[in-house]
Structure 1
């Protein structure tokens, strides 16, 4: 019995000596890796065809540790397979008239949602945006990536929004039950 205990203690001591001490810089790097931001997003256009008659009701934004987020509320979005197109453009142009809409920032994302910003039956607006104006109720103060927003209008069942960014950065688009979520990363590396 004594021999087994002595052997166990000896093996534990040898194992402890064999493990190198973890320097502080490596410990910090390990912590950073554990809290790294998602990577694998790109900057190429993301498109999903399919339209809905459900109207767009709101656009809001939020700040996160790794990205800035825009949420476009469309009741029934997930059930109807709501379509969208998100892509980088040199300039944003209003549908129908072709008028340029100035959007501030180093890069511009054109966000098209295949849903009108008005009630399909009555024609009454369901979203209070005004063409070429910033999105109502959206304040981008303190955002790391977002710089400007512009409402591009709603034309033939599609709604257009311009999103001005600090630079061309990776993004992802998700369709959830009642909204479209657009996340734009703070950088390309995934570091916080």
Structure 2
């Protein structure tokens, strides 16, 4: 019994002076986010048209929303070395240390070719001044039934993509980019 007490006392002393190694650390995901930064895609084509692009700030991420006239059917979102204009292939300059290409499988023009989305400035679709992650949102064009946007971000950070129904029979493609890993 005496040896047991001596051993127990030694363990308490070692713990008190920090001589024992702590157990393995487990990294908690930032804000519970565990999205990753790999490409996300749905190849389905849509009969809807793009009508608007907007952004917003949340506590843990910045949000890009693409409004459509009907159901969102497909998209491709991924980090790329450079976003290029639809049709011409010319690079779209973006602020930030990473470029996220957002392709919506829906045109920004109607069946007769009339525009359904006409940005006032193709290089600045939304004012993202003061955002933690977004640095710039640019329009890269609409060609052969798809619309491409460039999203300049602070760094290659985790993101998620999902769709929401409404309003008014339309839908929305949502891209959230985390503020941190």
Q: Does the CA-based 8 Å contact 2:53-2:64 persist in structure 1? A: yes
Q: How far has the Cα of 1:132 moved from its partner?
A: 5.0
Alpha-carbon RMSD across the aligned residues, in angstroms, is: 1.6
- The gaps in structure 2 that reach 5 residues or longer are 1-27, 166-170
CA distance in 1: counterparts of 2:69 and 2:33, whole angstroms: 29
Q: How far has the Cα of 1:142 moved from its partner?
A: 1.3
Aligned to 1:24: none
1:98 aligns to 2:89 (yes or no)? yes
Q: State how 1:49-64 maps to structure 2 within 5 Å.
A: 49-64=43-58
Q: How far has the Cα of 1:127 moved from its partner?
A: 0.6
Q: Does the CA-based 8 Å contact 2:47-2:70 persist in structure 1? A: no
Aligned to 2:16: none
Residue of structure 1 aligned with 2:113, choices 112, 117, 123: 123
- Cα offsets for 1:18-59 (capped at 9, x unmatched): xxxxxxxxxxxxxxx9xx613210100001011112110000
Moved over 3 A (4+): none
* Secondary structure of the corresponding residue to residue 37 of structure 1: helix
Aligned to 1:150: 138
| Number of residues of Structure 1 aligned to a counterpart in Structure 2 | 148
Residue of structure 2 aligned with 1:171, choices 138, 159, 164: 159
Structure number with higher helix proportion: 1
CA distance in 2: counterparts of 1:38 and 1:56, whole angstroms: 31
After TM superposition, the score normalised by the length of structure 1 is 0.73
After TM superposition, the score normalised by the length of structure 2 is 0.78
- The gaps in structure 1 that reach 5 residues or longer are 1-32
CA distance in 1: counterparts of 2:175 and 2:71, whole angstroms: 14
